């Protein structure tokens, strides 16, 4: 069973997907954290994140995995470092790198072979699992998303800086050549701007648990 949850940064994907996974007893996979860990590895190697060939080679030799809630880079917990501003900046070119995407998608598909999963990202419903059992696309107004991101960031950044960074990432994630951020045609769009966290989770769970889906 695969539940795909896509959407831009700050749309509420991560917290919602995590809670949906807990409620269903499924495994939760944050694919953004995988791209972020790759970006941290690239920064640590002193490679220019825009250097496609060097980045692809570096990421090929990285071991990126999860241990419970933590994301590991070559066995080290980098869960805090991936949320820092440097990683926010480097992850855009690293995640636009076609070779990096191929590597990550392969890992994501392999993971779902052995688990019921709630997987969240940008291209889960469009590219990674076009046949997912359920697809959701979460959205929210840019200002709402910027306020949410400000609360989550480990560094204290101003609203305008966070908003501008989100806008820049939205633009690049949506216009990149390889697997751009877009809603799958058969995904259900949920605007989380006016919903509480519990309402978001309940909305998704109620769709999954609708009687007409009972056999799936």
> Which residues contact ligand DC by CB under 6 A?
9, 31-32, 35-36, 91-92, 95, 121-123, 169, 173
Count CA within 13 A, CB hemisphere, residue 6.
29
**The two structure tokens encoding residue 162:** 């966070």
Closest approach of ligand DC to the CB of residue 114, in Å: 20
Would you say 24 or 148 has its CB closer to ligand DC?
Answer: 148
Kindly tell me which of 16 and 212 has the beta carbon lying closer to ligand DC. 16
Measured from the CB of residue 67, what is the shortest distance to ligand DC in angstroms? 18
* Beta-sheet strand order (sheet of 117-121): 27-30, 117-121, 2-6, 134-139, 188-191
CB of 214 to ligand DC, least distance (A): 29
User: Please, which residue, 38 or 208, has the CB nearer to ligand DC?
Assistant: 38
- CB proximity list for 213: less than 8 A, separation 6 or greater: 134, 207
Q: Which residues, other chains included, contact 134 with Cβ-Cβ below 8 Å and sequence gap of 6+?
A: 2, 3, 4, 188, 204, 207, 208, 213
Treating both helix axes as pointing N-terminal to C-terminal, what angle do 98-113 and 85-96 enclose, rounded to 10 degrees? 90
Smallest separation (angstroms) from ligand DC to the CB of 18: 12
């Amino acid at each position: 069973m695969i539940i795909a949850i896509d959407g831009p940064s700050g749309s509420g994907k991560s917290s919602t997907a995590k809670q949906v996974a807990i409620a269903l007893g499924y495994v939760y996979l944050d694919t953004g954290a995988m791209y972020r860990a790759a970006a941290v590895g690239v920064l640590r190697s002193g490679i220019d994140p825009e250097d496609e060939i060097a980045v692809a080679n570096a990421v090929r030799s990285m071991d990126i995995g999860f241990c419970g809630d933590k994301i590991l880079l070559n066995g080290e917990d980098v869960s805090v470092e991936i949320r820092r501003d440097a990683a926010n900046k480097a992850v855009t070119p690293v995640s636009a790198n076609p070779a990096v995407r191929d590597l990550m998608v392969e890992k994501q598909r392999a993971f779902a072979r052995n688990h019921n999963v709630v997987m969240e990202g940008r291209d889960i419903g469009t590219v990674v699992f076009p046949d997912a059992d359920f697809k959701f696309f979460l959205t929210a107004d840019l200002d709402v998303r910027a306020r949410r991101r400000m609360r989550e960031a480990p560094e204290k950044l101003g609203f305008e800086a966070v908003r501008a960074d989100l806008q820049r990432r939205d633009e690049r994630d949506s216009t990149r050549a390889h697997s751009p951020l877009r809603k799958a045609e058969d995904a259900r769009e949920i605007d989380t701007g006016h919903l509480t966290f519990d309402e978001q989770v309940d909305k998704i769970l109620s769709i999954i648990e609708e009687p007409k889906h009972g056999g799936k």
